[in-house]
Amino acid sequence: MMNESSTLTLRDVNVTRYVTPLREGGSLPAIAEADDGFLYVLKFRGAGQGVKALVAELIGGELARIGGLRVPELVFAQLDATFGRTEPDEEIQDLLKASVGLNLGLHYLSGAITYDPTVVTIEPELASRIVWLDALLTNVDRTARNTNMLMWKDDLWLIDHGASLYFHHAGTPWEEAAARPFVQIKDHVLLPQASALDEADAWFRSVLSPERIHAVTSLLPDDWFPNGDAAQQRDTYYQFLTHRIQQSAIFVNEAQHARKAFI
C-alpha cells in the first residue's frame, strides 16, 4: 500500500510482438510482448469504448491495489505506427492502426484460471472489500457469467475494470452520478459472501484518502484527452470518487439490501 505522501507511477514499455487476440466481447484485447521481455494483456485505445475504458481500467486497478487487493501490474504500453502492418486479420489490423500511441497493459498471469464461485469460496472480508470497491466504481462486469477474477498461485486476482465509471459514457454529471446507489450490485458474483460490508466501508474510507485518490487520477496521461482538457477530466474523476466515498452509505445500504435476497 502506498504512503500518504507517495507519488504513483506506472512503468512505460514498448510493444514488440502481437502474440494472440483474446476474443472477449467487442474490445479485442490481446496478449502481447513488450521490450522488457514480459507478456501483457493489452487494452487498446482504438477498441469500441476508446480511452474511457483505459481510464476505468487504470483507476479501478490502482484503487484496488491501494485497498490491498491483488491486481496484475499495470503499465503504459506504447504502440508504434509500424506495428501490426503484417497482421493478416483485417479487423485486428484496423484495431492496431487505431491504437497507435499510448495504451494500457496488464501483466499476463501465465497459468491463471478463471475464478469459479462453485469451486472456491472467498472469505467474507475479502468478498466484502471487492463488492464495496465495485459499488464505488459502478462496475457492472463482475457477475457469475463473467467474474473478471482469476485464481493464480492460490490467490484471487482482479482483472478488467474497463466497464467501471459508466457515468462517463452516459454523459451524466458527476455530481448526480456520485450520489446514486448502484442497483446492479444485486448481480455481483461475490455479494452472497459479502457479510462484512460495514467493515469494508470503514477500511476503504480510511485508506482511500483524497491525497491517494488524487495520486491515482494524476496518472491519467494527457495523451488520452486529445481535446486539451486533461486537467479538467482528471479533476472530474477525482471529484466523482471523493464525493462518492463521502456518501458511501448510499451504495453500501443498497448492497446490504440486495444481500437480503440471498439470506
The residue type found at 187 is D
Count how many residues are written for the chain.
263
pTM above 0.85, yes or no: yes
Q: Reduced to 3 states, what is the DSSP secondary structure of residue 222?
A: helix
Question: Quick check: is 216 in a domain?
Answer: yes
Question: Quick check: is 1 in a domain?
Answer: no
Q: In this predicted structure, what is the pLDDT of residue 227? A: 87
Can you spell out the DSSP letters for 19-36? EEE---TTT--EEEEETT
| Alpha-helical segments (H) within the chain | 50-66, 90-98, 124-137, 167-170, 174-178, 197-207, 210-217, 230-246, 248-259
Q: In this predicted structure, what is the pLDDT of residue 65? A: 98
Give the C-alpha separation, 96 to 183, whole Å.
36
Question: Quick check: is 15 in a domain?
Answer: yes
Q: Please check whether residues 127 and 97 belong to one and the same domain.
A: no
The residue type found at 53 is A
Local structure of residue 224 (DSSP, 8 states):
G
Q: Reduced to 3 states, what is the DSSP secondary structure of residue 211?
A: helix
The span from the first CA to the last CA of the chain, in angstroms, equals 34
Please state the domain count of the chain: 2
Backbone phi, then psi, for 150, in 5-degree steps? -125, 150
Q: Please check whether residues 54 and 75 belong to one and the same domain.
A: yes
Question: Quick check: is 237 in a domain?
Answer: yes
Domain residues for the domain of 53 are 11-107
Give the C-alpha separation, 144 to 187, whole Å.
8
Give the C-alpha separation, 14 to 162, whole Å.
22
Q: Which of 107, 134, 154 is the last residue of a domain?
A: 107
Q: Please check whether residues 89 and 170 belong to one and the same domain.
A: no
Give which of 39, 8, 12 is closest to 106, Cα–Cα. 39
Q: Please check whether residues 141 and 229 belong to one and the same domain.
A: yes
Question: Quick check: is 5 in a domain?
Answer: no
pLDDT digits (tens, 9 = 90+) for 214-261: 999 999 999 999 888 999 999 999 999 999 999 999 999 999 999 988
Residues 6+ away with beta carbon under 8 Å from 211: 4, 5
Q: Please check whether residues 139 and 99 belong to one and the same domain.
A: no
Question: Quick check: is 190 in a domain?
Answer: yes
Residues 6+ away with beta carbon under 8 Å from 22: 28, 29, 30, 31, 41
Give the C-alpha separation, 35 to 14, whole Å.
6
As given in the structure block, the three cell numbers for residue 262 are 440471498
Mean pLDDT, the chain cut into blocks of 10 residues (263 residues total): 68 94 76 97 93 97 98 97 80 91 97 95 97 98 95 96 93 93 97 97 98 98 93 97 98 96 74
Give which of 165, 70, 72 is closest to 110, Cα–Cα. 72
Q: Please check whether residues 149 and 258 belong to one and the same domain.
A: yes
Q: Helix, strand, coil: what percent of the chain each, to 5?
A: 40, 15, 40
Q: Please check whether residues 178 and 96 belong to one and the same domain.
A: no
As given in the structure block, the three cell numbers for residue 155 are 490467490
Q: In this predicted structure, what is the pLDDT of residue 5? A: 46
As given in the structure block, the three cell numbers for residue 263 are 439470506
Q: Which of 85, 107, 129 is the last residue of a domain?
A: 107
Q: Please check whether residues 126 and 99 belong to one and the same domain.
A: no
